[in-house]
Amino acid sequence: MNGTAPWIHTIRQGIHEPDDLIPWLDADIQTLRSVTGRYPMRINGYFFRVMQSGGLPLIRQMLPHPLEMQGGGMEDPLAEERDSPVPCVTHRYPDRVLFVVTRECAVYCRFCTRKRIVGRGGPVSDEEIQNGIDYIRSRTEIRDVLVSGGDPLMLADERMEWILSLIRAVPHVEIIRVGTRMPVVLPQRISPELIDVLKRFRPVYIMTHFNHPMEFTDESVFACEVLADAGIPVANQTVLLRGVNDDAPTMELLVRRLLRHRIRPYYIHQADYTQGTDHFRTKISTGISIIKALRGRVSGLAMPYYVLDLPGGGGKIPLVPGYRDSASGRFVNYRGECFDYPEPAGEMPPAWPEPPFIKRN
Ligand SMILES: *Cc1c(COP(=O)(O)O)cnc(C)c1O
Ligand code: SF4
């Protein structure tokens, strides 16, 4: 890390252990210490302030809870390690890979799917990066590299530049995606210097992670606008979280807000079956009714896919409300009204019929 950048000070000034919370919290600090002994805590100075005005939906994402020590769930629910041909690369779909370049973040979200690694396990070495690049270079079907972590933007600009230049030098890689929560949790990280780095390796997409409308501040809006102005499209992945955003009015405000700031709402993730996060999970029916409520109330452009990443490494599948009545086969719109669509009748011709007026010789 670049020791002088202001965003690093903001992280250092944050809350790193339950004891730092004593002035704010009337809780059993001893229990919280055992939680953070297992799953590290980090709330940087910026997000700590946002959290205080944002209230419970933001606090719940960040504050350690004794329930993290209980319940079911799996350490690596998505079997990312099984589908890992070399350390730090997960290759599940033919054309895309997930490339973990750091295990640190600017905050440690309590619901994180990679709870098993974030804030633990030390830095990713140059050798691991090189091995990842060698793998990507050796598999010509890889067109899309999703740089992930942790949060890749925890790395200094120079290191990001090095990694992006190695990826960009692979001829068959078409697009690079950077998965980062920085625009939300530490927007100061989106500095003019960083923008210059990202711009040089376009097409680069930023995949960010807003979960609640209260996460929008002047700073976060500015960071997203600067990215969009630099020709770096921003898409958003939200996790559906109990007590945070599991109702339609909240999600409606969120997706409208995203779109207004030129961020495409891409996914709403059903919470993964991750150890220590059970208290955040909702029923799938909750997500389905949110999607149903959004359709008809917001622009199609604001409609995210609601997806479930199957435990055991099955990959993501979209979860969609039924828009067809199973008994009658009729179509049902967002108001619950039924309609018919006359499909072409009979056998389909084997090919599209040639118009008779085109002369062939
Ligand atoms: C989610 C994911 C991707 C990217 O999936 P998209 O649907 O293209 O966004 C790639 N690899 C792995 C292992 C993933 O979990
Ligand atoms: S920023 Fe992302 S990777 Fe880091 S803890 Fe939060 S959800 Fe997990």
CA torsion angle for 231, 163, 211, 266 (degrees, to 10)? Answer: 50
Encode pLDDT of 212-264 as tens digits. 999 999 999 999 999 999 999 999 999 999 999 999 999 999 999 999 999 99
Question: What does the pLDDT read at residue 297?
Answer: 93
Question: What does the pLDDT read at residue 201?
Answer: 98
Give residue 97 CA to ligand 1 midpoint distance, Å.
Answer: 7
**Which CATH homologous superfamily contains domain 6-318?**
Aldolase class I (3.20.20.70)
Question: What does the pLDDT read at residue 3?
Answer: 54
- CA 238 to mean position of chain CA atoms: 6
Counting from 1 in the atom list of ligand 2, the atom nearest the Cα of 112 is 8
Question: Is 95 an active-site residue?
Answer: no
Give residue 144 CA to ligand 1 midpoint distance, Å.
Answer: 10
Question: Is 316 an active-site residue?
Answer: yes
Question: Is 338 an active-site residue?
Answer: no
Question: What does the pLDDT read at residue 220?
Answer: 98
Encode pLDDT of 173-203 as tens digits. 999 999 999 999 999 999 999 999 999 999 9
Question: Is 272 an active-site residue?
Answer: yes
Question: Is 105 an active-site residue?
Answer: yes
Q: Where are the domains of the chain?
A: 6-318
Residues of the chain below pLDDT 70:
1-3, 358-361
How does 40-72 read in b/e, with b if 16+ C-beta sit within 10 Å? bbbbbebbbebbeebeebbebbbbbbeebeeee
Give residue 171 CA to ligand 2 midpoint distance, Å.
Answer: 30
Give residue 274 CA to ligand 2 midpoint distance, Å.
Answer: 13
Candidate from 58, 63, 105, 185 with most ligand 2 atoms within 8 A of CB, to mutate: 105
For 342, residues 6+ apart whose C-beta sits below 8 A from its C-beta are none
Question: What does the pLDDT read at residue 2?
Answer: 46
List ligand 2's pocket residues with C-beta within 6 A.
105, 108-109, 112, 114, 118, 149-151, 181, 209
